[in-house]
Amino acid sequence: MLLSNSGSMEVKPVVAVVTQKLVDTLNEESIADNKVMIHQLKGVQKSLEKLRSFSKEKDHLRVVYEIEDEIEKFTFRVARQRKRFGFLTKQTFFFNNVNSCCKLKRKIKKIRSTIRNFRDDEASITSTTTSTPTSSTSTVTSSLNSKTDEEENDDGDDAFCNGTNELAQKSSSDIWPISEIPSTPSPKRGWMTRSFSTITNQKEHGLQCKKLTFSFSYNEEEKNMVGFKQLSNVSYQEEVGVFGQIDDIKSLVRRLTQQTELFVPIVGDAGCGKTTLARAVYRNRKIRDHFESHDWISVTEDYDLERVLLSVSKKVDMVKGKRYLIVVDGVGSCSVLKDLKNAFPDENNGSKVIFISRSGPEMSMNSHSVKNISKEESWTMFLKKAGKEKEAEQIKPYVKDKILNICKGLPLNIVLMAGLLMTKRTTRWAESLTIDHDQHSDDVLNLCYNDLTINSKLCLLYMSLFPKDYDIPVRRLLRLWLAEGFVKRRSRRSKHPLPEDLVKTCFDELVDRNIIQITKLRSDNSPRQCRLVSLFHDYLLPKAQDISLFYIHRNSENYEDAAGTFGVRRMVQHLSTTGAFDHQQSQRKSPTFDPSLLRSYISFNFQHKDMPEREVGILLCQVISHNFSLLRVLDLEGVCQPSLPNKLGHLRHLRYLGLRWTFLESIPESVGDLSYLETLDVKHTRVDTLPDSIWKLKRLRHLNLNNIRLAMPPSSSLTLLTLWGLVLDEKISITQGLGKLLDLRELGIKFRLNESQGALLDWIAKLVNLQQLRLTSVDDMGRPSKLDLKPLTALDKLSHLNLYGNLQKLPDLNEFPPTVKVLTLSLSRLSNDPMETLEQLPCLIVLRLLGESFTGTRMVCHRKGFQKLEVLKLWKLTGLEEWDVEDEAMTNLKQLDIRCCHKLKNISSRLLLKPRRLEDLELTDMPDDFVARIKKRKSNDTSLTINPWKFNK
């Protein structure tokens, strides 16, 4: 039997998160002492647990959303009353008599009655053989829409209360697909150009929708200039290169560098590795050296041909006279291909355009066809990815055949199947593969998805709100999952894992299963950016839309046309389009947008710096003007100068306020009223001050600032885990303020301290959970100042250490954190060779000696030193003349970056010749004779890049 559940709704994950919100409500300090309310709410919890066991229909989902509405409206009242009445809200006699409490009781009673009706109807369906529809739908409609006069007029004791608490039925409407967004977000606007394209092609109402969206592109040389390496998915793409594509890579490299044709199509079935092959070729050293300009255009599913052609025309103008390589990934139809070909004039200079498409007759001529790999290669690849090479003989032949038949020789299927089965015993594989692999392309997707836990399913569904092939910052994704309430919260006294650890575990599981791809690694090889596997995005987006998990909206000038089957609960904003879309949007008969149901607003409406985004302020004012503001997530990362209302503090449910890279200059004073706020991120903005009321936010866990000075309160009960970008001076008490924060995991502080520096470093030495630490010591003029580092031996979880300031001496080996993986020293002005100490750090992977960190003339890396070091950067060591590397030192060094070390005479031959593993050598602003010597002496296996900042000028 095919395990596809495409015909059923994903209700269970929604029930799970609503149940979790209910549990969080039960743990509220203001509610936990109220026995009457606890009894009522636990009754709802039991009913929800029963509902989860059979909920599949739309009407059941409507009831679940009704419960969610009531729970969150109730907690909104609690937060508002706490703001108004303070300690009185903790008193049982007061809480039992507020009208809002009575209203929720009546609501709960009605909802529980509705759930019982559902169970009775379900039981009657099970016990009868008739196919006549039950009265379930009518029961829901009458229960949810009938209200007593008392309820209609019951506004409670609060002017904000609303008598119309029922979720009105919304007419079904299509949720429009993703529009134009940057496929690779541009955090540093100067070095990343807006030219990465997204072209989409989606069927609506059974008709082919011909629209083409051209988004932005990144220039990889410019990315590398600032030290970012865009890595392929190590769990998938490297394996494909090993299994069956080496000859394809060689063939395409020859074709691109030696033949005269302009267009090179790459075709094959979905999941066969076309894009992976193209990426391998795109990054090939011969290709990088042969072409002067490189660009990648990613194709998504809804496209506007005129827009794409205009953007392509601009791009062609930019590369005129250069030999360029442009990859267009996802070309769908013959007509589109013909129009795109006409947009690229052949200048007969060796330029090339690669089109990537699924197999079809229109692509057959002169195309490079990517074939499915053989059964032998498939099985070898599967065993390696599943880690079962030693157990191969224990796998029964019929199980092996079933796996190979399901995978169909497609590398993506093999990788996903390996991720599914790698954690299971081989004896249990047969029962995990109960699927009929008729010609359904999503069989593997069904298997992988259905094997996930409820919470993992919900986290995965949520990821489909990000644009297809969008590189998502892992930090952003995990904090959004937290804010949405997808994992269990814990009380302050609880010994359960932190929610941050739970979402990280969920993320790691999805990565291990190869459903989430890691697209960029941090310097210590931890994940920095990720994306949902493209085919999974196509598979999950309809499921998420079906349950109104989110609504994708692109008409930023008019929110009134936004609609969803169950109301707009999460809105994802994209750039407005023109022409056909706006006409179609205006023709839709949809109900008026109800902002009172909005839980999340995430915008990808990126504008130029001189085009501030004002419309978001209009929407927020609409939300605030309603009696209940249930917004939990406001994520405007990358949106240029969005307007925020002064009454921002009325969004009392807000958990996540993401303003990174918005270039905002200020945020409203009322931010201190957001009593539920967990994440406040104003990094990379122009915000230079925050109100002292920020410390009233007792739930705040992640605070990312933009070098802001904040006065700490004398005592604090905060449970901050992240405090980044704080500025300290002598006027701020360290022992009475910061000294109370002992749970920090990430800390970045810039300080102007003389007398109090010792107290600061004594406090830091007690932060035993610290994982990342950045210390910047400056004087009153902002110049580097002395940094008297204390022993950090107790920080046995610290992996990243960044020190900016004048060290009197380098700490002894036994004073360093034993687990440090990434160490950065800037302007340390050490006169003694630091290598003798640093080479003994047992876990060091990345070492950056930057800007006068060492002022001596000679460095020596001794025998067997730096055993794990993979990356070394030597920047602006202006006095360095000699650098010796003894035998068996730095044996694992892969990347070496030397910049502005003008007196350095040479690089040790031990680093340049085989059998060394040095892969990349980068020289920037180094003397010509130095560069010439290195060119002659380096191994052919080492890639040499000279002055990367001059590329593509």
User: What is the predicted pLDDT for the residue at 633?
Assistant: 95
Q: What number is the average pLDDT over the span 427-438?
A: 71
Tens digits of residue pLDDT in 172-204: 222 222 222 233 333 333 333 333 333 334 333
Mapped onto helix, strand or coil, the DSSP state of residue 487 is coil
The residue that leads in pLDDT, 874 or 248, is 874
Quickly tell me which residue has 């297809």 as its tokens. 468
Q: Which of 728, 722, 805 is nearest to 760 (CA)?
A: 728
Q: Which of 123-132, 502-511, 685-694 has the lowest average pLDDT?
A: 123-132
Q: Which of 363, 235, 219 is nearest to 293 (CA)?
A: 219
Mapped onto helix, strand or coil, the DSSP state of residue 298 is strand
Tell me if domain 245-369 and domain 454-489+497-546 are identical in fold: no
User: What is the predicted pLDDT for the residue at 524?
Assistant: 80
- How many CB atoms are located within 10 Å of the residue 188 CB? 12
Side chain identity at 163, as an amino acid letter? Answer: G
C-alpha distances out from residue 369 to 248, 264, 277, 336, 755, Å: 9, 11, 11, 20, 70
- Name the band, by pLDDT with cuts 50, 70 and 90, for residue 302: low
What residue spans of 319-374 are helical by DSSP H? 334-342
User: What is the predicted pLDDT for the residue at 847?
Assistant: 97
Q: Are 806 and 827 in contact (CB under 8 A)?
A: yes
Q: d(Cα 145, Cα 141) in Å, to the nearest integer?
A: 6
Q: What number is the average pLDDT over the span 694-707?
A: 90
The residue that leads in pLDDT, 556 or 262, is 262
Mapped onto helix, strand or coil, the DSSP state of residue 614 is coil
Question: Which pair of structure tokens corresponds to residue 730?
Answer: 């002598």
The residue that leads in pLDDT, 577 or 525, is 525
Q: What number is the average pLDDT over the span 680-699?
A: 89
Q: d(Cα 65, Cα 770) in Å, to the nearest integer?
A: 39
Asked whether residue 310 carries a pLDDT value surpassing 80, the answer given is: no
Tens digits of residue pLDDT in 114-159: 666 665 665 555 554 444 443 333 333 333 333 333 333 333 333 2
Domain spanning 454-489+497-546, CATH class: mainly alpha
Task: Return all residues near 213 (Cβ < 8 A) that are at least 6 apart.
Answer: 179, 180, 197, 198, 199, 200, 300, 302, 303, 304, 307, 308, 577
Q: What number is the average pLDDT over the span 224-248?
A: 43
Asked whether residue 945 carries a pLDDT value surpassing 90, the answer given is: no
What is the pLDDT of the chain when averaged over all its residues? 76
Element (H, E) at 498: none
Q: d(Cα 177, Cα 577) in Å, to the nearest integer?
A: 12
Asked whether residue 804 carries a pLDDT value surpassing 70, the answer given is: yes
Q: What number is the average pLDDT over the span 62-80?
A: 79
Cα-based angle 526, 661, 553 (whole degrees, multiple of 5): 100
Among residues of the chain, what percentage have pLDDT more than 90? Answer: 30
Q: What number is the average pLDDT over the span 886-904?
A: 93
Q: Are 82 and 14 in contact (CB under 8 A)?
A: no
The residue that leads in pLDDT, 511 or 496, is 511
C-alpha 556 chain-centroid distance: 24
Tens digits of residue pLDDT in 843-857: 999 999 999 999 999
The residue that leads in pLDDT, 39 or 388, is 388
Side chain identity at 514, as an amino acid letter? Answer: N
User: What is the predicted pLDDT for the residue at 29?
Assistant: 62
Element (H, E) at 119: helix 99-127
Asked whether residue 580 carries a pLDDT value surpassing 70, the answer given is: no
Q: What number is the average pLDDT over the span 277-294?
A: 86
Q: Which of 522, 512, 509 is nearest to 473 (CA)?
A: 522
Quickly tell me which residue has 């739970």 as its tokens. 502
Q: d(Cα 68, Cα 75) in Å, to the nearest integer?
A: 11
What's the maximum distance between 2 C-alpha atoms anywhere in the chain?
91
**Domain boundaries in the chain?**
11-117, 245-369, 377-447, 454-489+497-546, 821-952
- Name the band, by pLDDT with cuts 50, 70 and 90, for residue 226: very low
Q: d(Cα 794, Cα 784) in Å, to the nearest integer?
A: 27
User: What is the predicted pLDDT for the residue at 108?
Assistant: 66
User: Where does 245-369 sit in CATH, by number?
Assistant: 3.40.50.300
| Residue 354 bridge partners (DSSP) | 264, 327
User: What is the predicted pLDDT for the residue at 197?
Assistant: 36
The residue that leads in pLDDT, 716 or 135, is 716
Q: What number is the average pLDDT over the span 400-407?
A: 91
Which of 337-351, 527-541, 712-726 has the highest average model confidence (pLDDT)? Answer: 527-541
Residue 150's Cβ-count burial label (10 Å; 0-12, 13-18, 19+) is: exposed
User: What is the predicted pLDDT for the residue at 32?
Assistant: 61
DSSP string computed for 737-801: TGGG----SEEEEEEE-STTHHHHHHHHTT-TT--EEEEEEB-TTS-B-EE-PPP-TT-TT--EE
3-state helix, strand, coil in the chain (%, to 5): 35, 15, 45
User: What is the predicted pLDDT for the residue at 235?
Assistant: 38
Tens digits of residue pLDDT in 639-674: 888 889 999 988 988 999 999 999 899 999 999 889
Tens digits of residue pLDDT in 4-20: 344 456 778 888 888 88
**297-335: b (≥16 Cβ within 10 Å) or e:** bbbbbbbbbebbbebbeebbeebeeeebbbbbbbbbeee
User: What is the predicted pLDDT for the residue at 491?
Assistant: 60
Question: Which pair of structure tokens corresponds to residue 518?
Answer: 């890691």
Asked whether residue 700 carries a pLDDT value surpassing 70, the answer given is: yes
Q: Are 432 and 386 in contact (CB under 8 A)?
A: no
Q: Which of 928, 930, 923 is nearest to 949 (CA)?
A: 923
User: What is the predicted pLDDT for the residue at 478?
Assistant: 97
